[in-house]
Amino acid sequence: MSNRQSEIAAALAVVPPFADDHAIDQEIERRKAFIKQCLTAAGLKVLVLGISGGVDSLTAGRLAQLAIEELRASTGDTDYRFIAVRLPYNVQHDEDDAAASMRFIRADVEETVNIASAVQGLAQQITQLHELSDARRDFVMGNVKARVRMVAQYTIANANNGLVIGTDHAAEAVMGFFTKFGDGACDLTPLSGLVKNQVRAIARRLGAPDNLVMKVPTADLEELRPGKPDEDAHGVSYKQIDAFLHGEPVGDEAYAIIVKAYDQTLHKRELPFAP
C-alpha cells in the first residue's frame, strides 16, 4: 500500500474487506444501530430517502426500514416511520428497476415527486444556460436535477420532522462523484466507509435480487446520455477503485486517476472555505 492509498483510506474511514458472512452481518447490525442512534440523538422519528433504482439507495433504504421497524418494536412507538421517495425527471429510463427497488425495500410510506416542472421552471429563468453548448448545458442541468431532488427530500423531511439519508460511500467519495449540495447533502450517511463491492455484499445479504445488486451504476443525470455508467465518467472501474481503497495494487494509470480525482474534489468533502 502506498502512502497516498493509506492516507486516503484513513481519511474516508474505509472498512476493511469482509472476511465472511458473519462479518457482513455484523456490519449490517452496526449500520442499523447507527441509523437508530442518529434518530434518537436528534429526538426525531422519521427518515426520508430518495430511491433511484441503484444498489446504493436500495441498500440504504432497506437498512433504514429495518432500523425503523426495530425502533417501533423496542419502544412501542408507532410514530417511527421511513418514507421512500421516487424522484423521476419525467419518465425514468430504468423505471422498472426503481419500482423493483421499492418492492424490495417495503418502506412504511412511498411517495413520488416528479421534479421535471421544477427543474424546467428554474432553467427558464437562468439566461446563461441558453448560451452554453448542448453538452455543457446538459451537464449543468444534471446538477440542477440532483439539487432539486434534495430540495424535495428536505421539504418532505421538514414537513414530517425527519432526517434525510444520503447514499454516499467511500468509492464515490474518493472520486468526488456526487453533486455538491445535491445528493451530497444529507443528515446521515449509513453507507459511509464502504467500497462498492461491500455495498453490493450487504444488499445481497439482505436478500436483494441479483439483477439489482449487480446493476451497472449510473447517476442518470444527463439527457444526452441517459443511463451513462459511472465508470465511463470515472475513467476507472469500481473494481479498481475498491482495490485502491483496500490498499491493493492497481495500475499506474488507475492510481493517477483516482488520486487526481480525490485531490481535485476535496472541496466537496469539506465545509465551505473560510478565511
Q: Are 93 and 226 in contact (CB under 8 A)?
A: yes
Given 56, 108, 230, 242, which residue is catalytic? 56
Query: Which pLDDT does position 190 carry in this prediction?
Result: 98
Q: How many Å apart are CA 65 and CA 82, to the nearest integer?
A: 6
Query: Which pLDDT does position 271 carry in this prediction?
Result: 87
Query: Which pLDDT does position 2 carry in this prediction?
Result: 86
Active site residue 56: yes
Q: Whole-prediction pTM value?
A: 0.95
Q: How many Å apart are CA 167 and CA 158, to the nearest integer?
A: 19
In the predicted model, is pLDDT for residue 19 greater than 80? yes
Asked whether residue 54 is marked as a ligand-binding residue, the answer is yes
Q: Which of 184, 154, 170 is nearest to 270 (CA)?
A: 184
Query: Which pLDDT does position 92 carry in this prediction?
Result: 83
- Which of the following CATH numbers is that of domain 16-228: 3.40.50.1100, 3.40.50.620, 3.40.1710.10, 3.40.640.10? 3.40.50.620
Note the pLDDT tens digit of each residue in 251-266. Answer: 999 999 999 999 999 9
48: left (phi over 0), alpha (psi -120 to 50) or beta: beta
Given 27, 172, 220, 230, which residue is catalytic? 172
DSSP 121-165: HHHHH-GGGGGS-HHHHHHHHHHHHHHHHHHHHHHHHHHTTEEEB
Neighbours of 273 (CB within 10 A): 6
What mean pLDDT comes out for the span 129-152? 95
Note the pLDDT tens digit of each residue in 148-190. Answer: 999 999 999 999 999 999 999 999 999 999 999 999 999 999 9
Query: Which pLDDT does position 111 carry in this prediction?
Result: 97
Asked whether residue 126 is marked as a ligand-binding residue, the answer is no
In percent, the amount of the chain with pLDDT more than 70 equals: 100
Asked whether residue 162 is marked as a ligand-binding residue, the answer is no
Mean pLDDT estimate for the chain:
96
Distances (CA, A) of 121 to 109, 114, 124, 150: 28, 13, 5, 16
Q: How many Å apart are CA 29 and CA 15, to the nearest integer?
A: 14
Asked whether residue 51 is marked as a ligand-binding residue, the answer is yes
Residues 6+ apart with CB under 8 A from 103: none
Asked whether residue 59 is marked as a ligand-binding residue, the answer is no
DSSP 6-62: HHHHHHTTPPPPP-SHHHHHHHHHHHHHHHHHHHHHHT--EEEEEE-SSHHHHHHHH
Note the pLDDT tens digit of each residue in 190-230. Answer: 999 999 999 999 999 999 999 999 999 887 788 888 888 98
Asked whether residue 204 is marked as a ligand-binding residue, the answer is no
Asked whether residue 192 is marked as a ligand-binding residue, the answer is no
Q: Are 140 and 129 in contact (CB under 8 A)?
A: yes
Query: Which pLDDT does position 261 carry in this prediction?
Result: 97
Q: How many Å apart are CA 46 and CA 80, to the nearest integer?
A: 6
Note the pLDDT tens digit of each residue in 44-59. Answer: 999 999 999 999 999 9
Asked whether residue 239 is marked as a ligand-binding residue, the answer is no
Note the pLDDT tens digit of each residue in 107-125. Answer: 999 999 999 999 999 999 9
Q: Which of 158, 155, 149, 139 is nearest to 181 (CA)?
A: 149
Query: Which pLDDT does position 8 carry in this prediction?
Result: 98
Residues 6+ apart with CB under 8 A from 88: 95, 98, 112, 114, 115, 116
Query: Which pLDDT does position 1 carry in this prediction?
Result: 73
